[in-house]
Structure 1
Amino acid sequence: MSPTPDALAALRRRSVNRILVLHGLSSFCYGMVFPFIGIHLAAQPDIATAGVAVYYGASGLANLAVSLLLTAAVVRVPRHALGILGLLLWVGCFGVLTGATTLPEAGAAALLGGAGQGAFMAAIIPIVNSLVPPEERRAVFARRYQILNATLASGSLVAGLFLAVFSREAIAWLLLVNAAGYLPVALVLALARKVPGIAEAGGPGEPAEPGDASDTPGPAPAPVPAPAFGTGMLIRASLTAALFQFGAYLFGFSQFEATAPLVADRLMDTGIGWISVMLTVNVVVIVACQRPLGKLLEKHSEERGLRVAVAFWVTGFLLAFATAFGPGPVQLTGLILYAAFFGLGECAYSCSFHPWLISKVPDRELTRASALCNSMMGIGMFFGPSAGIALIGLGDPAWVWLPLAALCGFVALTTLRRKARTAPADPAASADSGAPALVPAG
């Protein structure tokens, strides 16, 4: 018997809530290692600081390779299976990283982690979108980001207290706990595949998932011919979003993840405890400001929301630069202010970027478009930490922050100055998903 619309809506809501909660659990586990991966690797004599750049670079390249294969439809994997595969690759990454003491071992972990990121990040956005009605999309993606950051900060705070009691060698145990944290998410994605009415119909980007058609009783609807949506058309439709994602990770996220902790540890000698405080402040800001800032930005286009995000990031860099000339406590204040403003930028980014991307392509092509954006994220993660480490080599925090402020502002000037290109509608996808007609995001 086919479920009623209300029952189906409730089932989808429970499914997406389970995904968000367990994804939050894995984020808590990742938070326990997130700020300490570079520090852990740099402490190994055969890896050192240069090896940290190699690790992040190899991870970015692996992410790029997987994302490009998915974008070009060379590899076709149903989105739920793709997400589960990515999670298992992450388990392998942190399992290897636990005992990595040489550069080849760190490189192997990076390849597994980057490939896992390419697979999971291409899949999770279409999976969540398939469970959410269009009118709730921006709120759900903002809530997802809020949960992930709250749990990330909580994990980081717990790890900071843990490492304050034990030695830095205990980071290896935290890496093992993080690896285990991905397994519940894999289970809930497998369960989400069985929710009626969300499976892909197949097409250029993705094959149909086995058994999905039989899960929905009643006669199958007549197929609606879909226009060809080749790789070139996909790239044209989502290129602006992909370029923004590249810049955001090159001069934004990778700098917060890799460069800022190393600046604090190597140039400012703050100690691990203050790095955890910085991350905690960042996420407290996100948790406190995500909802009110998201409500405010709902009145404006997604592109304006992204401009606001970059403006906050640039402000944070400039505050860190302005305080870098003062004594230690003033420099530390600038670092905390940078973390706070970066959190405000993340609030604007989280409720704007993925809805902006979703508006550009039909639902059936969303996995490929998400993979394209993740390929740009891979390139950003490859060059970003290397650029940050090169700036750290100048030996002065001020000359790390000022170039990053200028380059981050350049991202907004070059990718958000024009209205978004509207993608051709896919009749089949619209009929299956109930998505509204595509309109210019600008």
Structure 2
Amino acid sequence: MTAGTPRMRPVDRLIVTHGLSSFCLGLVFPYTAIHLADRPGVGTGGVALFYGAAGIANLTVALLLTAGVLRLPRVTLGVLGTALWFCGYLGLPFVGSHPATLVAGVAIGCGQGGFLAAIVPLVNSLVTAEERRKVFARRYAVLNATLAAGSLVAGALTLILPRSVIPYFFVANAVGILPLTIAILTAGRHARAAEEKAEESAEGTALPMAALARTVMPAALVQLAVFLFGFSQFEATAPLVSERLMDMGLFMVSLMLVVNVVVIVSLQGRITRLLEDRPEIAGLRIAVGLWTVGYAVAGAMAFLPYGFRLTGLLVYAVLFALGECAYSCSFHPWLISLVPDRELTRANALANSMMGVGNFAGPSIGVALAVSGQAPVVWFGLALCCTTITVGTGLLARRGGAAPAAAAVPGSG
């Protein structure tokens, strides 16, 4: 590298290595349940045990961090999280009993809980307030594209290679986490010195749990809402309804994913620029509003012949992706603006706990609506839920905007 060649910034290295890890996670994303169900001594009961253990462990770590029971510097927390994640996924190809499955699930869940709580404060410490929205939007686009690419590569490999290749995906996923660990350590050395010092010396000045909850709860409830009625529905309900209730082939699941990723990657920057002069909460309202319209379009088209149903699902995929673009450049900058930097790890942990609850409980809402056997009931039911949440988000915005901690953050949005 010549002296005149600009070096990649620490935040960019962090995003790139997180993207690599996301690609490797995409390799196992479609096959974790299949692999565990096939393992002798694990079976379908072990699949439920794994996901339950991972979810509970993730939520437990998030709540311990929020309550201040577990207090670690963000770099230490991020490294510990990736280390546990590495151990859990490295052990998955070899589990052969329910206890081993439980251990792997707990390690992965605890690792995710620690890493997810640390990564947002760490990214924020590497950028200025002015570039915060663009950086978080770019990170979101990279993670979506790499996760989808990994899933597509895994799907292609299982078409040309025997089923026995699947365990190697888990090894590749574990190895793919290691560059991210190194990037976290490197980023920690470049983080803003004043903020790192404030975080490490904050023991005597930490907000009480009740005060933190009052300040962050508006954002946490918005996070719960968007995962209950947004992300979990796209990932779980939409494939189920399109294939079983709308007579679409399995290809529709892949097609909707591809459309979703293409829209995010191609339009994320433009959406971010359109929203940069608006308050972050406006972007969240727009996101949920786009999802509501998408559900309504899919529901209206569900009454019509095959070609219209196909069109309705594609329109839904596009509108959902546009909503994701608005969400990605709005939510974390809004959360960051609500609290002093020293409390950001705890605040992010609280938001992540709501994300976990939404991901766990959200699919049951879609499944309950699908029991009707009518696709329009599902789509219009979700549209009604999102309409209610849009109104609720407006009320929460007024509470969140008045939070006294927001004034303590220089340059907050």
Same fold (TM over 0.5): yes
SS at match of 2:131: helix
SS at match of 2:190: coil
Report the residue type matching 1:377 in the other structure: M
TM-score by length of 1: 0.80
Is structure 2 residue 339 aligned with structure 1 residue 361? yes
Is structure 2 residue 217 aligned with structure 1 residue 239? yes
Describe the superposition over 1:96-146 as per-residue Cα deviations: whole angstroms up to 9, x where unpaired: 444567766655444333222211111001101101011111111111111
The residue number in structure 2 matching 1:25 is: 20
TM-score by length of 2: 0.86
Distance 1:75 1:225 in 2: 12
Change (3 A) 1:227 1:189: closer
Whether the aligned pair in 2 keeps the contact of 1:286 and 1:347 (CA below 8 Å) is yes
Equivalent pairs: percent with the same residue?
51
Report how far residue 225 of structure 1 moved. Answer: 12
The residue number in structure 2 matching 1:307 is: 285
The residue number in structure 2 matching 1:86 is: 81
- Structure 1 stretch displaced more, 88-97 or 265-274: 265-274
Unaligned runs of 5+ in 1: 1-9, 209-223
Distance 1:225 1:390 in 2: 45
Over the aligned positions, Cα root-mean-square deviation in angstroms equals 3.2
The residue number in structure 1 matching 2:189 is: 194
The residue number in structure 2 matching 1:401 is: 379
Report how far residue 260 of structure 1 moved. Answer: 3.1
The residue number in structure 2 matching 1:388 is: 366
Report the residue type matching 2:187 in the other structure: A
Change (3 A) 1:334 1:32: farther
User: How many residue pairs were aligned?
Assistant: 405
Whether the aligned pair in 2 keeps the contact of 1:255 and 1:388 (CA below 8 Å) is yes
Unaligned runs of 5+ in 2: 1-5
Report how far residue 392 of structure 1 moved. Answer: 4.3
Is structure 2 residue 232 aligned with structure 1 residue 254? yes
What pairs with 1:140-159 in structure 2 (closer than 5 Å)?
140-159=135-154
Report how far residue 292 of structure 1 moved. Answer: 1.0
The residue number in structure 1 matching 2:200 is: 207
Change (3 A) 1:409 1:165: farther
SS at match of 1:145: helix
What pairs with 1:28-43 in structure 2 (closer than 5 Å)?
28-37=23-32
Describe the superposition over 1:220-252 as per-residue Cα deviations: whole angstroms up to 9, x where unpaired: xxxx99855211111111110000011111121
Distance 1:178 1:324 in 2: 38
Equivalent of 1:132 in 127, 135, 139: 127
Report how far residue 93 of structure 1 moved. Answer: 3.4
Distance 1:225 1:171 in 2: 46
Whether the aligned pair in 2 keeps the contact of 1:317 and 1:404 (CA below 8 Å) is yes
Whether the aligned pair in 2 keeps the contact of 1:47 and 1:102 (CA below 8 Å) is no
SS at match of 1:132: coil
What pairs with 1:209-288 in structure 2 (closer than 5 Å)?
229-264=207-242, 273-288=251-266
Report how far residue 332 of structure 1 moved. Answer: 3.9
Distance 2:295 2:34 in 1: 22
The residue number in structure 2 matching 1:176 is: 171
* Higher percent of residues as helix: 2
The residue number in structure 2 matching 1:75 is: 70
Is structure 2 residue 333 aligned with structure 1 residue 335? no
Report the residue type matching 1:385 in the other structure: P
Change (3 A) 1:281 1:105: farther
Distance 2:233 2:35 in 1: 18
SS at match of 1:76: coil
The residue number in structure 2 matching 1:350 is: 328
- Structure 1 stretch displaced more, 55-64 or 181-190: 55-64
